């Protein structure tokens, strides 16, 4: 017999798992876009239009942190669930011998998870 408390815990675990999987996928994609290994348009399927516009501006303006050091390699992603439909992310990535950070927010929509905010440091 499954009690309501157990069902809620299982759903939370599923949300956490889905959010973590999406977080890794979307951040890897964002870094590949910033490195110009993918077109910006590919973010349009998984990110809000405002995020896509900012990424496009960062690339065109040459404001990608450490771009001259080489390709970004995602190292660590931490996911903190705000509630069942939103999570905040912090991550680290390397370029050459230097370490960088980024922060993001994802939200669950009817169509699935979406990147709603991105800050590359």
What is the per-residue pLDDT for 1? 45
Q: What CATH code is assigned to 4-120?
A: 3.10.450.50
How far, in Å, are 6, 12, 16, 18, 26 from residue 43 at the CA level? 36, 27, 22, 18, 8
Round the average pLDDT of the chain to a whole number and report it: 91
Residue 50 and residue 12: Cα distance in Å, rounded?
Answer: 29
First-to-final CA distance of the chain: 49
Q: What pLDDT, on the 0 to 100 scale, is given for residue 58?
A: 96
Q: Hey, what are 43's tokens?
A: 């973010």
pLDDT of residue 8: 43
Q: Which of 78, 119, 73, 116 is nearest to 98 (CA)?
A: 73
pLDDT tier at 84, thresholds 50, 70, 90: confident
Query: What is the tens place of the pLDDT at every residue in 4-52?
Result: 444 444 446 666 889 999 999 999 999 999 999 999 999 999 999 999 9
> What secondary structure letter does DSSP report for 110?
T
Q: Which residue has the higher pLDDT, 10 or 76?
A: 76
């Amino acid at each position: 017999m499954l009690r309501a408390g157990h069902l809620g815990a299982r759903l939370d675990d599923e949300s956490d798992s889905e959010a973590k999987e999406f977080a890794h996928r979307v951040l890897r994609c964002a870094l590949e876009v910033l490195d110009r290994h993918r077109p910006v348009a590919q973010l349009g399927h998984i990110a809000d239009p405002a995020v896509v516009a900012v990424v496009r501006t960062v690339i065109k303006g040459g404001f990608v942190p450490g771009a001259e050091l080489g390709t970004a390699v995602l190292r660590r992603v931490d996911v903190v669930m705000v509630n069942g439909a939103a999570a905040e992310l912090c991550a680290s990535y390397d370029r050459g011998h230097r370490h960088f950070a980024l922060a993001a927010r994802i939200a669950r929509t009817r169509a699935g998870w979406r990147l709603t905010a991105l800050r590359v440091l």
